[in-house]
Chain A
Amino acid sequence: MSKRPIEPFLWTLFSAGGVVAAVLIPAHLFLFGLAFPLGWLRPPTYEFLHGLLRSPLVRLYLFVLCALPLFHWAHRFRYTLYDGFQIKHLNKVIEALCYGGAVLGTALAGYLLMYAG
């Protein structure tokens, strides 16, 4: 793959997203994906969560929680397809799908959070 000036930037996003995903996602997924639906813990009320969503700090947190892991996914998935499955001839399409998906997801997160609450 050719060395382009944007690569170090994409790698930084991948790395930052990797840290955010490693530190924050397990607890979030454990609570909302398992503990609350299965009744292990009682969920917070709608009013409490909705109130949180009004806070600019919480919105910023949620934006980071969504955006950086998406770029982490884009970078890793791109190389999974590229190296793991040896789909090298579709490189341009893969890049467009992965980073395009991350950019779209980030824009969607920004839009939802801008009008949330």
Chain B
Amino acid sequence: MFKWAHTKFILRELSSVFVAWFVVITLLQIRALSEGNEAYAQFQQWLAKPAVVAANLISFCFVLLHTITWFNLAPRAMVVHVRGKRLPDAVIAASNYLGWLVISIGLIWFLRER
């Protein structure tokens, strides 16, 4: 029998490998930026290689899986009371998603072409 719950658990745990991959690229990016214009241009060329784009596409899917599973678990870890009443899980999850959306749009706006 195919156990979806177990597969989902393994995929969620494996998302951490792609989180680590992101840190590796970010460290390479910081190094390239401090080495100069030419080093950074080379780094950008490396990022545009089909294999690297493919790795980043897979990583992006896993990171999204991490975000979704993390936010869906958050209401269980974070019990919020307002005027003595426990906030429904859906409200907590929705506010997490909203915060994520606002921060993501802010980052994209800040790092757009200029």
Q: Chain A interface (Cβ within 8 Å of chain B)? A: 15, 17-19, 21-34, 36-38, 41-46, 48-50, 53, 62, 65-66, 69-70, 72-73, 76-77, 79-80, 84, 101, 105, 108-109, 112-113, 115-117
Contact = CB atoms under 8 A, between A and B. Distances in A.
A43 B113 contact: yes
Given A33-B25, A77-B17, A80-B16, A22 B67 contact: yes
A31 B60 CA distance: 10
Contacts of A21: 19, 22, 63, 66-67, 70
Contact of B16 (A19, A26, A48, A73): A73
B87 interface: no
Chain A interface SS verdict (over half): helix
Interface of B: 9-10, 13-17, 19-20, 22-23, 25-27, 29-31, 33-34, 37, 40-41, 44, 47-48, 52-53, 56-57, 59-60, 63-64, 66-67, 70-71, 77, 99-100, 103-104, 107-108, 111-114
Given A25-B19, A29-B63, A44-B112, A112 B31 contact: yes
Nearest to A59: B30
A108 B103 contact: no
B103 A112 contact: no
Given A18-B70, A21-B63, A34-B53, A28 B26 contact: yes
B13 A79 contact: yes
Given A26-B64, A46-B41, A84-B10, A108 B33 contact: no
B105 to A, nearest CB: 8
Contacts, number: 155
A26 B108 contact: no
B27 A22 contact: no
A36 B112 CA distance: 9
Contacts of A49: 33, 40
Contact of A53 (B9, B33, B77): B33
